[in-house]
Structure 1
Amino acid sequence: MQEKLEKVLAEAREQLKEAGTLEETEAIRVRVLGKKGQLTQILRGMGKLSREEKKEMGMAANRAKAQFEEMLRERVKQVREKTREARFREEKIDVTEPGVQVTIGVEHPITQVINEIVGIFRSMGYSVYESPEVDTVFNTFDGLNSPEFHPARDMSDTFYIGKDIVLRPHTSSGEVRAEKELPLPYKIVIPGRCFRCDTPDATHSPTFHQVEMMVIGENITMADLKGSLDHMAKQLFGPETRTKFRPHHFPFTEPSAEMDVSCFKCGGKGCNVCKGSGWIEILGCGMTHPHVHRVGGIDTEKYTGFAVGMGVERIAMLKYGIDDIRLLYENDMRFINQFK
């Protein structure tokens, strides 16, 4: 058995010399000291020896085990050192080489316009209110005083998920929710994505964005509405911008108006952007209809308010001279990188 021990040690020594990874050294350890290892098998065969032979053989086996473990520790140390050195060589950095240029992203022009509009109204004391993109027919139409025969309620104009559930066609649906949830008085801006059954072309998209503004308080008048929007237009398009309000009809406001701004390209003289008129329509607005306030449980004898809705894509296209709305949704970085 002494010869077997010496043979096991000799083989292990040669194998450890060839081991180049920690996995290989571990495999050698298992081969020698594992439950079915060579040294373990030798020790199990000592049962047939005499008492004196067992004693002598046990001492020899312990010495062999100690020698193997010392060789193993030394080889593991060497392998770890070589691995560390190899890693250092691979990860070595040449500080004289030019660095890798990091590409910095850019906010999408739609996001930029939303943030700019929201920022303007925040400066006037407005808060941001978020409403869901999937809403009820009541919040979308009935609560906003839209009659049952209104064309927007038809399935050819609005995406219906169920009989009483739709993808919101305008952020105005958030007005009804805000009236029921928020304490009075309040000034809020509601940005978000909307959906309509439009065929994509240069000026239409089935997915688009709006920003809604809503104010409710005591003694709120049309003058407050006009002053707020005139300030917004000057902040958005420049201090020389003029505004014009034209009578219009929206079921959820009375009186209602559409607001034009003086053409920021020609200064109101007339050009291809404003189609020679000197004015550009950008939004619809009006004093909130009492019926809408009653839906929210608001005392119409005490409180009045106004609401404004504008399309973000329209503002972005006008402001940045974009001639096709589809460019905003094609994810072409050559286009988006122009807005850094």
Structure 2
Amino acid sequence: MKPTELEQLVEHYQGAIQLATTAVVLEQLEVELFHKKTGKLTSALRGLAKIPDVAERKQQGVIVNEAKKTLQQALQERREQLGVNHVKSALVLDPTLPAIAPPLGHIHPIRLVQNELVDIFRSMSFSVYEGNELETEDYCFEFLNIPPTHPARDLQDTFYLEPRRADGLKEVLRTHTSNMQVRLMRQFQPPLRVIVPGRVFRNEAIDASHEHTFYQMEGFVVDKNVSIGNLTYVLKLVMSKLLKSDVKVRLRPGYFPYVEPGFEADCSCTQCAGKGCSVCKQTGWVEMLGCGMTHPKVYEAAGYEAGKYTGFAFGVGLNRLAMLKYNIRDIRHFMSGDLRVIRQF
């Protein structure tokens, strides 16, 4: 760099330094001058090696170093005038900037549906209980009128644990939250209004609509003179609040060993207002849950007096409800651990 060019450089940057009003601008000027690779004065010092004459090289070195000291002093003086002793400290400590908020977690869609249902049922004076995930086969099957010959007790449908307990009973991973019906009936006397949300397990192949681990909510009522009309009213009220629409409920005959009569409960499709669409398979109805009037054998297992009480029970899959409510097409998303799914809620 020629002496005249160096003088022009110093004059230009002295003026720019004096015009600087923030620490950020001063830092940018410092980078332009003294960056290890691209700084203009750094390049001038590096260019001294190309001067063949030793005396001339020495003389030019003195001039470039004087220019460097001049500009460094100008930067320091301007920092002091602006009240900034160190540029980077000004960048870090700025009390006027908003705080950096830590990332927040997200509630799982199944938990969202469960929480909403719990709030709805609590408003109707239902109690909420949790149950054993590891259960004996009597509470999971026999006390619910499910005999040993029933297909649900086959190894291909249920996870059995080995070895047997000391009392000879087999232990299973519960296949439904209905396992708490007789337990709670033995613990409390009617009237009862109970829901039991929880995780259940089935020995099933996994696909878009089936999982070996999923979530259910069991509900049951025990009192005198309970009728199918009470069951229909409760289901209509709950589904209308959950889906935020005035839905209709219909009952179709269905078979479940622990209820008699048993029903499949459908609600009118909220996507098409019952006119027919792909969600409801053009029927106008969406299958929601299984339900019915509690079988006398269940009351017998609970130790209740025969014929004294009536009631109803229902079980709803929380995974299915979440899929309908949030338009999720594949049940495997719930257990995938993919944060992209959870971050949408």
TM-score, reference length from structure 1: 0.71
CA drift at 1:277: 0.7
1:172 aligns with 2:205: no
Counterpart pick for 2:273 among 267, 275, 285: 267
Q: Alpha-carbon deviation of 1:238?
A: 2.4
**Matching of residues 6-45 of structure 1 within 5 Å:** none
Tell me what 1:140 maps to: 140
Give, in whole Å, the separation in 2 of the partners of 1:249 and 1:204.
20
Counterpart position of 1:95: 95
1:312 alignment partner AA:
L
Q: Residue in 1 aligned with 2:327? A: 321
Report the counterpart of residue 301 of structure 1 in structure 2: 307
Match of 2:157 in 1: 157
1:226 aligned residue (223, 229, 232): 232
Aligned counterparts of 1:326 and 1:294: Cα–Cα separation in 2 = 39
8 Å contact from structure 2 (residues 245, 270) kept in 1: no
Q: Distance in 2 between matches of 1:209 and 1:111?
A: 10
Evaluate the alpha carbon distance shift between residue 93 and residue 182 of structure 1 in structure 2; reply closer, same or farther with a 3 A threshold: farther
Q: Could you list the per-position Cα deviations for residues 99-144 of structure 1 after superposition, in whole angstroms to 9, with x for gaps in the alignment?
A: 2132222210000011111111111000002210011100011000
Write the deviation string for residues 76-114 of structure 1: whole angstroms up to 9, x where unpaired. Answer: xxxxxxxxxxxxx9xx84313342132222210000011
Find the residue that maps to 1:310 and give its secondary structure: strand
Distance in 1 separating the partners of 2:126 and 2:224: 16
Which position in structure 1 is the counterpart of 2:52?
Answer: none
Cα root mean square deviation, aligned: 1.5
Q: Which amino acid aligns with 1:122?
A: R
Q: Which residue of 1 aligns with 2:255?
A: 249
Counterpart for residue 74 of structure 1: none
How many correspondences in the alignment?
Answer: 250
After TM superposition, give the deviation of residue 271 of structure 1 in Å. Answer: 0.8
Q: What letter corresponds to residue 263 of structure 1 in structure 2?
A: C
Is the CA contact (8 Å cut-off) linking 1:128 and 1:189 kept in structure 2?
yes
Distance 2:248 2:180 in 1: 29
CA distance in 1, matches of 2:136, 2:93: 60
Alpha-carbon distance in structure 1 between the residues aligned to 2:200 and 2:215: 6
1:119 aligns with 2:119: yes
Where structure 2 has 5 or more consecutive residues not aligned to the other structure, the ranges are 1-88, 165-169
Structure 1 residues not aligned, in runs of 5+: 1-88
Partner of 1:40: none
- Once residues 306 and 101 of structure 2 are traced to their aligned partners in structure 1, the CA distance between those partners, rounded to angstroms, is 60
How far apart in 2 are the matches of 1:299 and 1:115? Answer: 35
Q: Partner letter of residue 157 of structure 1?
A: D
Alignment correspondent of 2:194: 188
Residue 220 of structure 1 deviates from its aligned partner by 1.0
What is the SS of the residue equivalent to 1:266?
A: coil
Mapped contact 1:202–1:325 kept (Cα < 8 A): yes
* TM-score, normalization by structure 2: 0.70
Q: Secondary structure at the match of 2:344?
A: helix
For residues 237 and 133 of structure 2, what CA distance do their matches in structure 1 show? 29
Among candidates 179, 199, 209, match of residue 205 of structure 2:
199
Structure 1 stretches of 4+ with a deviation exceeding 6 A read: none
SS state at 1:172 partner? helix
Equivalent position SS for 1:338: coil
Partner of 2:108: 108
Aligned with 1:280 (options 283, 286, 292): 286
1:312 aligns with 2:333: no
* SS state at 2:177 partner: coil
